[in-house]
């Protein structure tokens, strides 16, 4: 018998402990990460218990009569223990939908965790959503490579990497977020997209203080001048660049390719996956072909991230499933 409860601050330690021991959770689900921007979202996260034991979590926020898992995170969905199987997840999803229905919610949106982040196979939620007649409303295409497979880099990238070598560029790890934000990242985003980074530099510095060793900064220098950089998240067996950007001379200097070659072929060779992230716009319906091609010239290939919408009343479809 499962019990569903709304997360409260009293559950902080229990929540974080379960995330750390889960088969598909990453530090993005740690409350120290989720709550850096708590003021932007109305939290409606759930915990599922069997007796007194936590068996599943759902990081989520509420907007009116709709719940999202999670608008402030790269991915969401059910966080599960290693021993939790498909039958249990079907029942857990049913109880969550019933809980939300009783709370006046009409719809639940889930952006699934790409399988590359799973410690072991963990797509029980996707199957349960299918049985609940959820609708696939979006699909993004991540570009992912396996460093240990030593993917082939094409000639175009090699030429650019050699520029960085010829220009005596230097990569410094832990060289500071602020120079990268203020001199490279923000000017580029404002010029190209009239936008700002999702995280302020103060927020990234705060998160770095909470997750030292998991949030990493690499800056590229031409002499004493910063010319590019990357902010990376270490997910255990996956490395994901959260931000990467170079100054106006990046093509002449080869700074970004020089940096990526170092990250992929020297610094993170023991990781299972290097996740370049998506190249999509307009809810996944458009592909930035130039950006996608650039990632693929490193040997990256597509991994899908699915987004589902399910009516909470559809919990009725999760009855009488088992034969």
Contact, 310 vs 134, CB < 8 A? Answer: yes
The predicted pLDDT at position 90 comes to 98
Q: Which residues contact 88 (CB under 8 A, 6 or more apart)?
A: 55, 124
Say how many Å lie between the first and final Cα of the chain, rounded.
19
3-state class (DSSP) for residue 286:
strand
Contact, 250 vs 153, CB < 8 A? Answer: no
Handedness of CA 189, 194, 197, 201 (dihedral sign): positive
Give the mean pLDDT per block of 10 residues along the chain (323 residues): 96 98 98 91 97 97 97 96 97 98 98 97 98 98 93 87 96 93 94 88 96 96 96 97 92 94 95 96 95 93 97 97 96
Which residues make beta-bridge pairs with 319?
none
The predicted pLDDT at position 251 comes to 87
DSSP result, 135-181: EEEEEEEEEEE-GGG-PPPPHHHHHHHHHHHHTT-EEEET--HHHHI
Domains and CATH numbers, the chain: 2-138+305-318 (3.40.630.30), 147-271 (3.40.630.30)
Name the one residue in this structure whose structure tokens are 């560029």: 169
3-state class (DSSP) for residue 32:
helix
Nearest-angstrom CA–CA distance, 225 and 204: 22
- What sections of the chain are H helices per DSSP? 12-21, 31-34, 86-102, 124-131, 155-166, 177-180, 186-193, 201-210, 250-253, 255-262, 289-296
The predicted pLDDT at position 258 comes to 97
The predicted pLDDT at position 177 comes to 96
The predicted pLDDT at position 228 comes to 96
Answer whether 0.75 is exceeded by the pTM. Answer: yes
The predicted pLDDT at position 218 comes to 98
Nearest-angstrom CA–CA distance, 224 and 172: 11
Residues composing the chain: 323
Name the one residue in this structure whose structure tokens are 């759930």: 46
């Amino acid at each position: 018998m499962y019990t569903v409860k709304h997360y409260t601050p009293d559950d902080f330690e229990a929540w974080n402990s379960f995330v750390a021991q889960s088969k598909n959770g990453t530090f993005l689900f740690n409350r120290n990460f989720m709550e850096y921007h708590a003021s932007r979202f109305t939290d409606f996260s759930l915990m599922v218990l069997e007796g007194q034991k936590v068996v599943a979590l759902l990081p989520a926020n509420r907007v009116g009569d709709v719940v999202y898992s999670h608008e402030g995170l790269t991915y969401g969905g059910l966080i599960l223990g290693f021993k939790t199987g498909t039958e249990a997840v079907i029942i857990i999803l049913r109880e969550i939908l019933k809980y939300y229905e009783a709370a006046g919610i009409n719809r639940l949106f889930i952006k699934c965790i790409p399988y590359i982040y799973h410690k072991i196979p963990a797509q029980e939620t996707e199957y349960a959503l299918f049985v609940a007649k959820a609708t696939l409303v979006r699909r993004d295409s991540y570009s992912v490579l396996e460093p240990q497979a030593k993917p082939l880099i094409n000639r175009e990238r090699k030429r650019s990497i050699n520029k960085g070598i010829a220009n005596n560029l230097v990569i410094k790890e832990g060289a500071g977020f602020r120079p990268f934000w203020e001199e490279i990242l923000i000017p580029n985003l404002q010029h190209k997209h009239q936008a700002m980074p999702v995280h302020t530099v103060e927020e990234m510095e705060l998160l770095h203080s909470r997750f030292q060793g998991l949030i990493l900064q690499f800056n590229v220098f031409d002499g004493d001048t910063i010319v590019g950089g990357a902010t990376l998240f270490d997910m255990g067996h996956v490395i994901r660049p959260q931000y990467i950007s170079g100054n106006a001379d990046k093509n002449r200097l080869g700074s970004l390719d020089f940096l990526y070659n170092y990250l992929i072929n020297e610094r993170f060779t023991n990781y299972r996956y290097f996740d370049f992230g998506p190249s999509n716009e307009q809810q996944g319906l458009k592909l930035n072909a130039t950006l996608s091609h650039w990632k693929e010239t490193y040997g990256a290939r597509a991994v899908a991230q699915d987004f589902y919408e399910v009516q909470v009343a559809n919990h009725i479809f999760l009855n009488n499933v088992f034969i």
